[in-house]
Structure 1
Amino acid sequence: MLNLIISVVPILLLIWMMTKRNALPSHIALPVTATIIGALQLFYFGSDLTELSANIMAGILSAITPISIIAGAILLNRTIALSGAEAVIRRWLENISRNQVAQLMIIGWAFAFMIEGASGFGTPAAIAAPILVGLGFNPLQVAMLALVMNTVPVSFGAVGTPTWFGFANLGLTEAELLETGRNSALMHSIAAFIIPLLALRFVVSWQQIRRNLLFIQLSVLSCTIPYFLLAQWNYEFPALVGGAVGMSLSVLLAKMRVGLETSEDDHNRAAQEAIPFGQVLKAMSPTLMLIGILIVTRIQQLGIKAMLNDATPMLNIDLGFLGQFSVSQALIIQWSEIFGTSTAWSYKTLYVPALIPFFLVVLISIPVLGLSKKVVTQVFTETASRIRMPFIALVGALIMVKFMMMGGANSPIMTTGRAFSELMGTNWQYFASYLGALGAFFSGSATVSNLTFGGIQQTIAHTVDLPQTTILALQSVGGSMGNMVCINNIIAVSTILGIANKEGYIIKRTVVPMVLYGIIVAIASTFI
């Protein structure tokens, strides 16, 4: 019991620091929490000082992945905004529909759904949220909407990575893995009738939602029906295909004003402000390039994904007591056996969506959009100024995660997970998704959550005689819904939108739909 209390108290302290009336900013609260957990590991759990140091180093280096993605997303966002392309896109979207709900569903729901299916890594919010802010929506409200909307497709995000890779070490047969995916898709699809409504409420009133409810549900179904159907025989493409179909149908429905509250003013102004197709295509070219590159580099069958993940050693350096340093054919940088421990760090230079596609697309867009040297300088200057404090916050978050996972089966995070399961027994399926959400809250990744807690969930299922594919599906859905409160994601979207010191405010509001999500899927699981 004491181990459980010691494990949980620092996290409760973190939540309190970030959500109290005069909340501490994340770049202070997270390093403080990491320091407390490090001290507990050293003086209470008896962790080795060398191992602790190795995890500190790995945590600092691990921040390079999210911060490079954030920097790439901001670069692209500032390029589109300062070139004038954002204004063209805004006018084009307004011509499709001036209805706020339609714009939020097309970009915040369907477009983000498709991007999640192609890439994951937090790119949906990075791409979709700035477009919505460009349409005149409040940045803080958009941040919360983006976090809540980007949950349903996540189990099949990045071409199914949370499912096929997240559960890869559990010894599942192909049939069991496919069944887990089917169950995940069904639970997500049921929750999708409610969750987008809660996301929209962050931005628009219940009256607007009610008056446009038919369009909202048609837009939801245009994504979830193909998503669910494809999940019956595949766990790689449901989100990608569902998002592409849903995006196309949502735009068509909006243009035809199906289920939307409209006014005569919409018809008149849209007709007067038609934008030439060539101008729209040029303004959309960075986003279209981004989507195209993401799809081509994420679909296994095309072979490029394997090339970008080629781990064949190209350079190996023995650093003595510091460990082993290597660079692969695909420029995967790896530092293993850090300080002589089993701790390791790696960075997939070509696969992490920072250089490819974000930075690459920015370089191509500079001449395509005709940016001057002065504007290019401004793009890079504004990006650099935005990522300083988030980098500190992410370092604190990732060191905290490393400390929480130290100790193997007796680590604080595993102790917390086991306590949940022992407390619930045969009622575990009603709470299984929250363990998945806890993993995503700590790690910032549904995939890492599945890797971390998949084994516990499988063991619990066997112990209390529950169907393992149902429990693993709940774990997968939980990892997805944990995106709403994940500190890394909140820092990322806040940084991209230029929001400062609102992480605690966001968590307090996004936790409500997350809890409801868990209730919905728990009820749904009883009928599977």
Structure 2
Amino acid sequence: MSILLSALPILLLIWAMTKRHSVPSHIALPSTALLVAAIQYGYFEADVRLMLANSVAGILSVLTPISIVAGAILLNRVLFYSGAEAVLSRWLKSVSQNKVAQLMIIGWAFAFMIEGASGFGTPAAIAAPILIGLGFPILPVAVLTLTMNSIPVSFGAVGTPIWFGLSGLSLTTQSLHEVAQHTALINMLAAFVVPIMALRFVVSWQDIRSNLVFILLSILSCTVPYVLVAQWNLEFPALVGGAVGVMLSVILAARGVGLATSTTDQNSEAVLDSKEVMKALSPFMLLIAILLLTRLPSVGLKQWLNSTLPIGQWTSYIGEFEVSRSLVFGLHNILGTDISWQYKSLYVPALIPFVLVVFVCVPLFRMSLQQVKLAIKDTGGRLRLPCVSLIGALVMVNLMMQGEASSPMFLIAQGFSQVLGESWAFTAALLGALGSFFSGSATVSNLTFGAIQLEIAQSVGLPVGLILALQSAGAAMGNMVCINNIIAVSTIVGISNKEGLIITRTLRPMLAYALIAALYSYGFLWLL
């Protein structure tokens, strides 16, 4: 009964958002949060003060995703009104007018590199507007970018999901590297299927077949260095793989290697001034440079931006409010509980790099005050309903996780493991995906379910490295169906009330990904 009631809100949410006349997310998610609260209070007899504290933390936590989305939209609108987006579109068409090549360069390789540097949903947020600027349809692009942004996620934000997400398990360095190696191999195998399924949302099977050689070369240009780096390093597989992939994909596309030839694909674009192209590309170069400088521990900025050394503290009936020297805002002991909230205003990719790059773009492109006002107005107009949706999602997640080992989310996980027993290896990745679906983060999924996966592996005698790799790969595939990411991308590209439709489409490649992970585990266990 406990497991059934725990799963009921999620089942109802999926049904409400995917049925023929779907319920908008700004209604479905807050309603689901209320249902979870009712079940927690009525059946699990949860502490009301703790529920309220988790709700407050959930509401405040919306600042992280909404600020990232706002920053990404603002940069996109600035590039649009300044004319930089049009220049970039003409340049990409001059490299290749082949649609598949453009989708693979931006939607696959470029997004792969951005994920390696930043994570936080920024790859789809940056890639989707560029592709739409090239003339691709909005909804299919949203689905494609969400689907593509899965393979590199296990090593996103310089490897955070692995080295930090599994940090609480007391694994040896050798064990962590074993997890990374298995994870990279699983993801590489999935890369032969997932990007092709993603392309099908935008182009026909005929287009895919006729350009298959280029597609495979572009995939390998990212995944081969990705796997090689993962053999010895936890931080840079996605970043190095993406950087190599972008360079090779552009070179291959410019030379027409593996691409179908037709009269419409011939370069009919006027020759562009190289200075103009570099100027249009400079915001993205600056974006990547800032992300690297603020994410690489060796630089030293990361530690400073995350500093929690307080410069001011205030106490109120809500909790203990704190501000650090790095503008990390925190609220501790919310409503007298041990629940806390924190917002790293300079580390979350919002003010830095998006808003910072915007400040550079305004004089760089000689934008008028009217153009800047239009960009800000467009940004603000897209945020109201997504903000409501995200509040509902984050409150729901916090309430689903309340109760630690007896929380609804843990009960669902334990129910699956008890039923499957030694067959757990074939479905372990789905638990990782469930964590990302709920939380919107592969890192949080690993932090949440890594301990459960470790316990199951040890209790039924399965290889720990394999099971944790399946957890990590599952957390990556869950990015496709993560409600937070879907809302964010939908907001950035300007579509509404399509979240359920997007989930139904991204679910198919996610299940294919899960099948590949299961086959990998079967093959590995058979070879033991």
Question: TM-score normalized by structure 1?
Answer: 0.98
The worse-fitting range, judged by mean Cα deviation, of 110-119 and 45-54 is 45-54
Q: CA deviation at 1:269?
A: 1.0
* Structure 2: distance between partners of 1:508 and 1:470: 29
Q: Say which SS state the counterpart of residue 316 (structure 1) adopts.
A: strand
Q: Do 2:91 and 2:277's aligned partners in 1 also have CA atoms closer than 8 Å?
A: yes
Give me the whole-angstrom Cα distance separating, in 2, the residues matched to 1:14 and 1:64: 23
Is structure 2 residue 471 aligned with structure 1 residue 472?
no
1:115-154 paired onto structure 2 within 5 Å:
115-154=114-153
Alignment partner of 1:290 is 2:287: yes
Question: Equivalent residues in 2 for 1:177-216 (5 A)?
Answer: 177-216=176-215
**1:147-296 alignment to 2 at 5 Å?**
147-270=146-269, 273-296=270-293
Alpha-carbon displacement from aligned partner over 1:407-442 (angstroms, at most 9, x marks no partner): 110000000000111111001010000000000000
Pick one of 316, 324, 330 that aligns with 1:328: 324
Q: Deviations over 1:48-72 (max 9, x none)?
A: 1111111111010000000000000
Please name the residue that 2:32 is paired with: 33
Query: Residue 487 in 1 paired to residue 483 in 2?
Result: yes
2:307 paired with 1:313 = no
**Equivalent residue, structure 1, for 2:504:** 508
CA distance in 1, matches of 2:337, 2:367: 49
Map Cα deviations across residues 64-121 of structure 1 (whole Å, 9 max, x no partner): 0000000000000000011111110000000000000000000000000000000000
- Return 5+ residue gaps in structure 1 as ranges: none
Cα drift, residue 253 of structure 1: 0.2
The letter for the 2-side match of 1:95 is S
Q: Which moved more, 1:6-15 or 1:258-267?
A: 258-267
User: Structure 2: which amino acid aligns with 1:522?
Assistant: A
Question: Which deviates further from its counterpart, 329-338 or 427-436?
Answer: 329-338
Tell me the C-alpha RMSD between the 2 structures. 0.8
Instruction: Please state if 1:82 is matched with 2:81.
Output: yes
**Within 1, Cα distance between the matches of 2:14 and 2:147?**
19
Alpha carbons 2:293, 2:299 under 8 Å: kept: yes
Three-state SS of the structure 2 residue aligned to 1:61 is helix
Residue in structure 2 matched with residue 19 of structure 1 by the alignment:
18
- In structure 2, the residue corresponding to 1:302 is in which secondary structure? coil
Deviation string for 1:329-374 (max 9, x for gaps)? 2111110110001111000010000000001111111010111000
The equivalent residue for 1:521 is: 517
Equivalenced residues, count: 524
| Deviations, residues 148-186 of structure 1 (Å, cap 9, x unaligned) | 100000000000000001001001011111110111001
* Residue in structure 2 matched with residue 363 of structure 1 by the alignment: 359
1:463 is aligned to 459
Instruction: Give the residue type in structure 1 aligned to 2:171.
Output: L
Distance 1:190 1:466 in 2: 22
Q: Is the 8 A contact 2:97 2:266 kept in 1?
A: no
Matches within 5 A, 1:49-60: 49-60=48-59
Instruction: State the shift of 1:268 in Å.
Output: 4.8
Q: In the alignment, does 2:98 pair up with 1:102?
A: no
Cα distance change on mapping 1:307 and 1:268 into 2, 3 Å: closer
The match for 1:435 is 431
Q: Which amino acid letter does the alignment assign opposite residue 477 of structure 1?
A: A
Instruction: State the shift of 1:264 in Å.
Output: 3.9
Counterpart for residue 445 of structure 1: 441
TM-score, normalised with respect to structure 2: 0.98
Letter in 1 for 2:108: W
Distance 1:323 1:379 in 2: 37
Does 1:351 find its partner at 2:347? yes
Q: Tell whether the 8 Å contact from 2:94 to 2:267 is kept in structure 1 after alignment.
A: no
Q: How far apart in 2 are the matches of 1:265 and 1:131?
A: 21
Code of the residue aligned with 1:309 in structure 2: it is N
Counterpart-to-counterpart distance in 2, 1:107 and 1:63: 28
| Matching residue's letter, 2:369 | K
Q: What is the alpha-carbon distance in structure 2 between the residues aligned to residue 155 and residue 90 of structure 1?
A: 30
Residue aligned with 2:331, SS: strand
Contact 2:154 2:183 in 1 (8 A): yes
Overall identity of the aligned pairs, in %: 58
| 1:317 Cα offset (Å) | 2.2
Cα distance in 2, alignment partners of residues 58 and 312 from structure 1: 21
SS of residue in 2 equivalent to 1:317 = strand
Letter in 1 for 2:318: L
Structure 1 distance, partners of 2:302, 2:294, is: 5
Match of 2:375 among 359, 376, 379: 379
Q: Distance in 1 between matches of 2:504 and 2:259?
A: 31
How far apart, in 2, do the equivalents of 1:523 and 1:346 lie?
A: 40
Q: CA deviation at 1:316?
A: 2.2
Name the stretch that deviates more: 330-339 or 114-123: 330-339
* 2:404 paired residue among 402, 408, 412: 408
